Amino acid sequence: MDHIKNSPNLQKADPAVADGVMPAVVLNFDHPNMIGDFTPWDIDFRQLDSGRLSTRVTVRSGHSVSALSIAMNQRVHQRGVSPKGWVTFGIPSNGAVDKWQSKDVTDNAFLSFGDSDGFDGISTAGFTGNVVSFETDRLERLAETCGFHLEHDTPDAHKLRSKAGLASMAQLEHLVSGLLTSADAQWSEETEETLMLEALSILTDNEAHFDRSQAATRRRAVDRAMDLMAANLEDPVSIEEICKESGASWRTLDRAFKEQFGLGPKSYYVRLRLSRVREDLLTDSFNGTINDAANRCGFWHMGQFAQDYRRFFRELPSETRGS
């Protein structure tokens, strides 16, 4: 239970935990400062408009990532300090934050909660937003391995301009929302890596970090990555390991796969494994169960596997086996 106690977004709740991952917890407060009774956040929120203030918080935490959504019905001056040892970012709904660190906030802004200096913002009535926190050491290790060069001074409100950056923020918000609202959403080390990669892509969304690799370099990276994927179906390797073994940065690898297949490396890897499962299910000589076929290709969460399989092949694994 240490990861719950040390989570930046939930400290005292004690739900049933599977595989070290906490299910989503919904909390309702008459005052947002009561969040401090349940988390290691040091906050001092101040209501600005008249009326009864209510706050709804949904929280879910894993090993190195924690996600939170918050909704408040009144305009609020948000002040506080985020948990030590974690780096935290906010994705507000458009128009939900007027100012952040005393600056006007425009749409498509990725908000940094800073460090020991604290954060200061003004949210509008009906505010909703998602917050995602990463263990600082883990995020920095992934950045180094995957070729992201983080600046020491992260902008308070990182304004996104490129299509890739906007897509990464939309994907990060989609993933966080799904993890907090869907009972079937799987939280795993792979999920955490995906969340961190999207955040790193957002934080390095500027011309200095755009990929400038040669076509030959990208072809070699794809070949090495595909060999590694094919050799590791039952125990899938992480994108971090693929970057390390292929000698390519995440941006180079992602660009190379999208140029060749129209898919990123993570999507390609999942589809390769799904295809191998389908091949087993259609082979007369395979005598195992559907679970056996899925496990042989690294799928252990059967509910998620069935969803992914049906989404890709337009039929359930049982229908494939029956054919």
- Per-residue pLDDT of 99-129, as tens digits, reads 998 888 877 788 999 766 789 999 999 999 9
Q: Are 218 and 252 in contact (CB under 8 A)?
A: yes
- Residue 64 three-state SS: coil
Gap between the Cα atoms of 219 and 259, Å rounded: 10
pLDDT at 10 over 60: no
Centroid of chain to Cα 159: 19
Gap between the Cα atoms of 16 and 32, Å rounded: 25
Contacts 24+ apart (CB under 8 A), 224-228: 224/248, 225/253, 225/257, 225/265, 226/268
Contacts 24+ apart (CB under 8 A), 241-249: 243/145, 243/146, 243/147, 244/145, 246/220, 246/221, 247/221, 248/147, 248/213, 248/217, 248/218, 248/221, 248/224, 249/146, 249/147, 249/148, 249/211
Whole-prediction pTM? 0.85
pLDDT of residue 123: 94
pLDDT digits (tens, 9 = 90+) for 216-267: 999 999 999 999 999 999 999 999 999 999 999 999 999 999 999 999 999 9
CB atoms < 10 A from the CB of 284, how many? Answer: 5
Dmax (CA) for the chain in angstroms is 71
pLDDT at 160 over 80: no
Centroid of chain to Cα 271: 20
pLDDT digits (tens, 9 = 90+) for 278-298: 999 999 888 999 999 999 999
Q: Determine what percent of the chain is predicted with pLDDT higher than 70.
A: 90
pLDDT of residue 158: 73
Comparing CA positions, the residue from 212, 208, 84, 108 lying closest to residue 157 is 108
